[in-house]
Amino acid sequence: MLGITDISEGIKEMVLEIVGDHMGMPAPTLSIDNSIVEELGADSLDKMELIMTMEELFGIKIPDNQVAGIVYVKDIVSAIEKSAMSSTQFKRARESWKMVQSTVSQNYPT
């Protein structure tokens, strides 16, 4: 069953793909531990474009105080997770998922 860990892994994979595409690097060569500026060569405009792309794709808003603290790719992942976890839309999706899990386990016991 799909759980929070699976969602987190999915976010990591998507972020690596987006960063790789934006920076012209293959995603498999990237790590969430890469520094966006020092290791990947992004400038401040690149960083803002990445943040805006993530916000648009994930349907979230990363607060300005969090944007300032983004140094590594994992910081983007963390900001997305925090924003998604606190959004009403995500809370509703989580509740729906719990209902689906309950229905499946009742109808298809293991």
Burial of 106 (0-12, 13-18, 19+ CB in 10 A): exposed
List the catalytic residues: 43
- CA 104, distance to chain mean position in Å, is 27
Tokens of 77: 């992942």
Tokens of 67: 């944007």
User: 70 and 64 in contact (C-beta within 8 Å)?
Assistant: no
Q: How many residues does the chain have?
A: 110
CB atoms within 10 A of CB 68: 8
